[in-house]
Amino acid sequence: MTGTLIPALARGRAAAPAVAGPDRVAEASAPAALEAPRISPQSRRRRLGRGRLFPGARLAGPLLVLLVWQVAASAGLLDPRLLTGPDVVAVSGWGLLQDGTLATHVGASLGRAVLGLALGTVAGVVLAVVAGLTRVGESLVDGTLQVKRAIPNLALIPLLILWLGIGEEFKVTIVALGVLIPIYINTYSALTGIDTKHIELAESLGLTRWQYVRSVLLPGALPGFFVGFRLAVVGSWMALIVVETINATSGIGYMMSQAQLYAQSDIILVGLVVYGIFGFTSDALVRLLERRVLSWRRTLAS
Amino acid sequence: MATHPRELTAPPAVLRTTALRRSFGERHVLDGVNLEIGRGEFVALIGRSGSGKSTLLRAVAGLDDTVDGSGEVLVPERVSLVFQDSRLLPWLRLLDNVVLGQSGAAARERGRAMLAEVGLAGRERAWPHELSGGEQQRAALARSLVGEPQLLLADEPFGALDALTRIRMHALLRALLRTHGPAVLLVTHDVDEAVLLADRVLVIEDGAFSLDLRIDLPAERTAEHPDVSRYRARLLAALGIGAPVTSPASLSGRTSS
């Protein structure tokens, strides 16, 4: 009989049928055991969680949308001036790729995004460190940036055009300003929110100010910085879309607004797909970087 | 408060506080504390919560800049601290944690040797969260001793550990002290721990010492030593707890009174 007892925690699917046999035999041959508690193989507990995700599950939704869209387009339900089918979008995209148009525009957009992101990140980190490390810096920088935060970036466009014209400097500046705020806010709050226990430890070990900043403060603030950086990457694309749609002679946004003039919905969709790919890829890259840099946290999260 | 008669054989002091006062608002948490600890001496400080034992330790450690107070604290050049939690920095590997703040080319070698001494050889590259609570606290001990301190301050260092781990930590601490020989000021709420480890136990009450008890037991002592229970009873009495409750009858008698 004891052979039928399996630990309550063992939930192996294979284990249950294997021990069902002896239990049934025991039941049949022992009618006197009526009052004894019935011992039966542990059945699998009802799972109340959401269960496991099947591989590639996240693609199911988008693929379904694509399928419905294609079927509707092929059946002639869609006006091609307003929305062409995915096949036409693919062909147009291929064409733009072949004649180099897409590469030119993507290159222009990517250049602005990367430059703006780099400038905004450096500025955001420097300001956060200045505000986070010194009281003077805090009183000078933090209030100013909180005011800046309250002003929407796009509201600065008229002034910036007046100052910088409508060239590249203007576009990169808008992107950088959009990046600066989330980087600053998150890095600053991580720097000032450092655990006082860690500060006490640093004091008790007699660390110098520089050792403290390098070994305790900056690594401790790194997770906060990455929260800001991921927001900033998304924000840089958003800012880009706006500036490229308003005043530009190149870039994905320009390509799309031109297509709008000629009612080329396929090219608009190519632009949207490119933006989507960029946004998705850059976020994945940042997450990869974050995992690398914050490897001490990896096993915590998993 | 009366000063304690000093023995002629007393070793030179490594720690001396004179008329130490600390207060939080109107409340005087330390009320003129005079404390002297000799070289290599192990002093345990016990008291009920709120008695001022942690305040005294923090004052000696110089971690109470924001607290009002007066008095003089003389400490040696090298003082180190062990906290109740290990306070290992999660983003530094174990060896980097142990040698944090140490300078010189030999620091990493010393750190490695220290980790081996606390039984963590081979774990130099582990992240702190990969260690058990006891292992983390052993690493914290290694960090506190790697600089060869003359005075080790410990604030309930084993308070968060389970009973079995605590017993093993006591043995480890004794072995480490034999090798490194710092004076120790241990704050604890565990009377047994104080009797088993210390040369001298101070009971603090309302910001002043109410008992200064020398423990005359061999360095290698166990809870089975006949005198241990005698010391324990004296300390419990000083803490106002009285004889331990042994039967349900006396328990009900106590609650009804």
Confidence of residue A4 (pLDDT cuts 50, 70, 90): very low
CA A139 – CA A146 distance, rounded (Å): 11
Contact A198 B89 (CB under 8 A): yes
User: Residues of B near A (CB-CB distance < 8 A)?
Assistant: 61-63, 80-81, 83, 85, 87, 89-92, 96, 100-101, 127, 129-130, 143
pLDDT of residue B138: 94
Is residue A223 less than 8 Å (CB to CB) from chain B?
no
Share of chain A above pLDDT 90, in %: 45
Confidence of residue A7 (pLDDT cuts 50, 70, 90): very low
pLDDT of residue B72: 87
pLDDT of residue B242: 64
Share of chain B above pLDDT 90, in %: 51
Taking only the tens place, the pLDDT of each residue in A214-246 is 999 999 999 999 999 999 998 898 888 888 887
pLDDT of residue A298: 63
Tokens linked to A96: 């733009």
Burial of A255 (0-12, 13-18, 19+ CB in 10 A): buried
Contact B63 A203 (CB under 8 A): yes
Beta pairing partners, B43: B185, B200
Contact A215 B100 (CB under 8 A): yes
Taking only the tens place, the pLDDT of each residue in B42-86 is 999 998 888 888 899 999 998 888 888 888 888 898 999 999 999
Taking only the tens place, the pLDDT of each residue in A167-205 is 889 999 999 999 999 999 999 999 999 999 999 999 999
Look at residue B4 and tell me whether its pLDDT is greater than 70. no
Q: Is the model more confident about B180 or about A300?
A: B180
A86-301 adopts what CATH topology?
MetI-like fold (1.10.3720)
Radius of gyration of chain B from its Cα atoms, rounded to whole angstroms: 19
Average pLDDT of the segment spanning B113-126: 93
- Quick check: helix, strand or coil at residue B17? strand
Look at residue A28 and tell me whether its pLDDT is greater than 50. no
- Quick check: helix, strand or coil at residue B151? strand
Task: Give the lowest-confidence range in A28-32, A76-80, B94-98, B155-159.
Answer: A28-32
Is residue A204 less than 8 Å (CB to CB) from chain B?
yes
Q: Where are the domains of chain B?
A: 1-78+148-155+182-257
Contact A201 B85 (CB under 8 A): no
pLDDT of residue B137: 94
CA A183 – CA A236 distance, rounded (Å): 12
Look at residue B113 and tell me whether its pLDDT is greater than 50. yes
Q: Is the model more confident about B105 or about B37?
A: B37
Q: Where are the domains of chain A?
A: 2-30, 86-301
CA B32 – CA A62 distance, rounded (Å): 74
B1-78+148-155+182-257 adopts what CATH topology?
Rossmann fold (3.40.50)
Provide the 10 A C-beta neighbour count for residue B119.
Answer: 13
Look at residue B2 and tell me whether its pLDDT is greater than 70. no
Average pLDDT of the segment spanning B89-100: 94
Contact A219 B129 (CB under 8 A): no
Q: How many residues make up chain A in this entry?
A: 302
A283 within 8 A of A230, measured Cβ to Cβ: yes
Look at residue A2 and tell me whether its pLDDT is greater than 80. no
What's chain B's average pLDDT? Answer: 86
pLDDT of residue B252: 44
Q: Is the Cα dihedral A206, A207, A212, A215 positive or negative?
A: negative
What's chain A's average pLDDT? Answer: 83
pLDDT of residue B185: 95
Share of chain B above pLDDT 70, in %: 89
Q: Is the model more confident about A106 or about A81?
A: A106
